[in-house]
A and B are shown apart, each in its own frame.
Chain A
Amino acid sequence: DIQMTQSPSSLSASVGDRVTITCRASQSISNYLNWYQQKPGKAPKLLIYAASSLQNGVPSRFSGSGSGTDITLTISSLQPEDFATYYCQQSYNTPRTFGQGTKVEIK
């Protein structure tokens, strides 16, 4: 199975900050990488697929980049509604493994 490791596991940031989360795969996965946002008590929500394609309705302050083993999620200007846990998931093969999550907290 492909192992997905996110860094950091948690971070504290202020509204307006630029935030970057990295997902590292145990082997090259090209751009076969999805990002999900999960708020407390809610189901995960798809943000980005194919490493950089925004799902419909997702604000443009979210962006993704990278290919191979290291792929990043960037929030250009953190908003109050962005405080949540973010998960990456590889779609290179089955099982489509998830990273352990990155919790974005208010500073």
Chain B
Amino acid sequence: LAKTTQPISMDSYEGQEVNITCSHNNIATNDYITWYQQFPSQGPRFIIQGYKTKVTNEVASLFIPADRKSSTLSLPRVSLSDTAVYYCLVDPGGYQKVTFGTGTKLQVIP
């Protein structure tokens, strides 16, 4: 199972774009990359998922290079309400368990 590594914490000012990078050197062919957001005392919330290149939805973009050994979650113009822990996970699907990384605690500063 692919292990993920991401920064423990990041600070950003309100209105800026935030990029959080996750490393997953042992990613397998069938693995998808998924990002979740978690606020204190709440369950994680799905943000975005991708396999390769770039995926964009209404809240974030996900950039995955050709070798897929890393991925970058991009949050445009963050606000104070984006202060949360962001998890990168590699999802193998099928009859295997997923592995959540340690998470990145993002603190948005006014």
Indicate whether A and B interact: no
| B residues lining the A interface (CB < 8 Å) | none
| A residues lining the B interface (CB < 8 Å) | none
